[in-house]
Amino acid sequence: MQVRLSSRSLSGVLAACLLSPLVSVVPETSAIASPVFDDEHLTHTFLHGLAALASSDAILTGARAEEEVLATVGRGVSLPLASTPCHRTEEKALYDAVVPAVVAVSSVYKCERCSDWHLGGSGSGWIVSPDGLVVTNHHVIQREAGHRMGVMTADGEVYAITEVVAADPVGDAVVVRIDTRGRRLPFLAVGSSPDCGTEVSVVSHPVGRYWCLTEGVVSRFHRQQKATGDAIPAIDGDAPLSSPPRTGAGTKPVWMSITADYTIGSSGGPVFNPAGEVVGMVSRTVTSSQTKPENANRRRPLAGETIVFKDCVSTETLHKLLSGHPQAAPADKTAKR
C-alpha cells in the first residue's frame, strides 16, 4: 500500500523532525540550590525578634557592653570540645556549608519621638562554638545606653547577646555569648594564617544585603595602630629610612589585607580559606586618598589613582582571643614577603 503525502503534510513532518531534537535538549527549569534571601523580610524579622527579647534582664545593653569590654580586655576564651565544624565538602559548596554559622549583628532602641523599637546599625559575625560564642568586631558592639543587642542566623532565628566574654579593642575583635535557648548551633573553625596570594572568600551583610559572598586573594600583612592612612607616612627625601619606629612592632597587631569586596555592614564578617576555615575577619577600609602627604610638594592622588585597602583582623589576633591565653606573635610576615 502506498501512502501519499501532500506537500503541506510533508512540510509538517519535516518541521516536526527538525524541531523535536531542539525541544528535547532544553533542560527543565530547576530550583536554585543555594538559599534565596528576602532582605526586607529578614530586616523585619530581625527587628521584631529583637524587640520581643528587649525586655529581658539578660540581654546585653549598650551601657553594660562598655563595662564588660573594659573588664575583658586581654582575656582569652577556651573553646569547648565540640563536634565537626561547618566546612566545605565534595557534596557541599563553601557558601552553602558556612552560611548557617554566619550571623547578622544589630541592636534595637527606642527614640524620643515614639514608643516603637527601631533597628540600629547592623554588622556581621560568626559562631565559633555550638554553645553560643560569637566573634565580631569591637566597633560593631553598640555601646549607647538604650540599645539592646542580638544576632540573627540565616534561618531567621534571633538570639539575644547576653555578655562580652573577651575583647581586643586594638585588634578590633570581641567574643560575645548569645542565649541559644538550649540549641546546639552550627559553628566555624579558625584555620592557620594564609600566605599572600591565597584565595579567600567573605560572607557578610553589606548595606543590608544579607549573606553576600565576595571573593579575592590575600594581598599583604602589615602592622598598623591607627585606622586611617594617616598612620603611614609618605616616604620622601626628608624622611630617613634609618629612623627607628616610635612604637615597638610587638605592641601593634598584625592586619591582613585582601582584595575581596566589602563595605558598611560587612564588619565582623568571616574571611574563609578554600577549605571553609576562618582565616581573618573584616574590619575596615582605607583609601589611598586618606593618606596625607608629609611633603607639601607631594600632590594628593587623583580619583583614577585611588586604591582601597581592605584590612582584616588576622589569625594572630583571633588565636590570641580564642586560645584561652595570649600566644607569642609569629614571625613578622611583612618582613618575610
Q: Mind listing the domains of the chain with CATH numbers?
A: 39-178 (2.40.10.10), 199-233+248-336 (2.40.10.10)
pTM over 0.75: yes
Average pLDDT for residues 152-168, to the nearest whole number?
A: 97
User: If pLDDT is split at 50, 70 and 90, which confidence band does 252 have?
Assistant: confident
Rounded to the nearest 5 percent, the helix, strand and coil shares of the chain are 25, 25, 50
User: If pLDDT is split at 50, 70 and 90, which confidence band does 304 have?
Assistant: low
Alpha-carbon distance of 246 to 237, in angstroms, equals 19
115-138 residue pLDDT tens: 899 999 999 999 999 999 999 999
Q: Determine the pLDDT at residue 31.
A: 65
Cell of 306: 585611588
Q: Determine the pLDDT at residue 190.
A: 94
Q: Are 104 and 151 in contact (CB under 8 A)?
A: yes
Q: Determine the pLDDT at residue 251.
A: 72
3-state SS class at 271: strand
205-220 residue pLDDT tens: 999 999 999 999 999 9
Alpha-carbon distance of 161 to 158, in angstroms, equals 10
C-alpha distances (whole Å) from 290 to each of 232, 244, 274, 285 are 10, 24, 32, 10
pLDDT of 105 strictly over 90: yes
Where on the phi/psi map is residue 22: left (φ > 0), alpha (ψ -120 to 50), or beta?
A: alpha
